[in-house]
Amino acid sequence: MKIEYPGTHWKDYELIDCGNGEKLERFGTYCMARPEPKALWDKSLSENEWNRLIHTRFRPGAGFGKAGKEDSGTWDRLKKMDDQWYINYRGGHPGLDLNLRLGLTSFKHVGIFPEQAPNWEFIFEQTRNLGGKPKVLNMFAYTGAASLAARAAGADVTHLDSVRQVVTWANGNMERSGLKDIRWVVEDAMKFAHREVRRGNRYQGIILDPPAYGHGPDGEKWKLDECLFEMLKTVSSILEPENSFMVLNLYSNGYSALLGETVVKEAFHLKDSYNIESGELALRDRFGKALPLSIFIRLVNRKK
């Protein structure tokens, strides 16, 4: 199992400290504190030191801890800051240069998940390795950093999410990054995948970052425990059997890398031609504390 962290070349993001159920992060010039249940240890800095650095702190609402509403709440601004701002991600591979808009949402998120940077690097590298203009599908695609990584590497990208506002956000990130021609789809992911099977459409790259709970634009319900295996079986039918890759990211606290690898192997009926790897994506703060945040499973299938 691998453990991967964002590279030290990323200057616009830093995990400063974490502990006592919170993390202190810097995005560009702004510092913020957000709840982090996995930070079970003590903070390295004092509360006074945190308060000296913080521009804003997320305060959980009444729904915090309830299924589907875990992250709802408000932001308490302690210093003057913009409602929206941009940061740059210049990757470890030449040509991976993204500009990403950030903003404070009522669900604790700010527009990116910084621990995903190693996946962006993997997607960019695998797309480049395929050559030409491979078709890449990004499902549950949020504000699109993974879509931009694939597009920057030359892919014909379809970006799929059920929330129109975040698709609009992703479109703005594309334009700000000097890219174009991503296909935007606002639809329920399961419905779209089943329809692609019926149409006989296939992709050389598929990216999945499903939430624990979610809803489609027409009220369709998504629950990871109940839907993941079916989704992966469907995805196995639209991923090209040769010269292809898949990335699955999972945030659910109850999932391990081994469980994720097993469910992928069973869904795909994997043969020897596939290279599969799994591991954790984590952040490391200034004091060396490692904060694991998600697991990944990656498939690479080369020509036999």
**pLDDT tens column, 161-190:** 999 999 999 999 999 999 999 999 999 999
103 with 111: CB under 8 angstroms?
yes
301 with 245: CB under 8 angstroms?
yes
171 by Cβ neighbours in 10 Å (0-12 / 13-18 / 19+) ranks as middle
Paired strand residues for 211:
none
Q: How confident is the model at residue 63 (pLDDT cuts 50, 70, 90)?
A: low
Paired strand residues for 247:
207, 298
C-alpha span between 101 and 110 (Å, rounded): 9
* Cα Rg of the chain, angstroms: 19
Q: How confident is the model at residue 218 (pLDDT cuts 50, 70, 90)?
A: confident
Cα 124-128-134 angle, rounded to 5 deg: 100
The identity of residue 266, as a single letter, is: E
Residue 214: per-residue pLDDT? 84
C-alpha span between 115 and 69 (Å, rounded): 22
How many C-beta atoms lie closer than 10 Å to residue 20's C-beta?
Answer: 14
Query: CB-based contacts of 248: which residues, under 8 Å, 6+ apart?
Result: 208, 209, 232, 260, 264, 296, 297, 298
The predicted-structure confidence for 117-163, as pLDDT tens digits, reads as follows 999 999 999 999 999 999 999 999 999 999 999 999 999 999 999 99
What does DSSP say about strands 183-186 and 205-208: parallel, antiparallel, or unpaired? unpaired
C-alpha span between 123 and 81 (Å, rounded): 33
The two tokens of residue 173 are 């990130």
All structural domains of the chain with their residue ranges: 2-85, 113-301
C-alpha span between 116 and 89 (Å, rounded): 12
C-alpha span between 246 and 250 (Å, rounded): 13
Residue 184: per-residue pLDDT? 98
- CATH superfamily membership of 2-85: Golgi alpha-mannosidase II (2.60.40.1180)
CATH number of the domain at 113-301, please?
Answer: 3.40.50.150
pLDDT at 242 over 70: yes
How many C-beta atoms lie closer than 10 Å to residue 9's C-beta?
Answer: 10
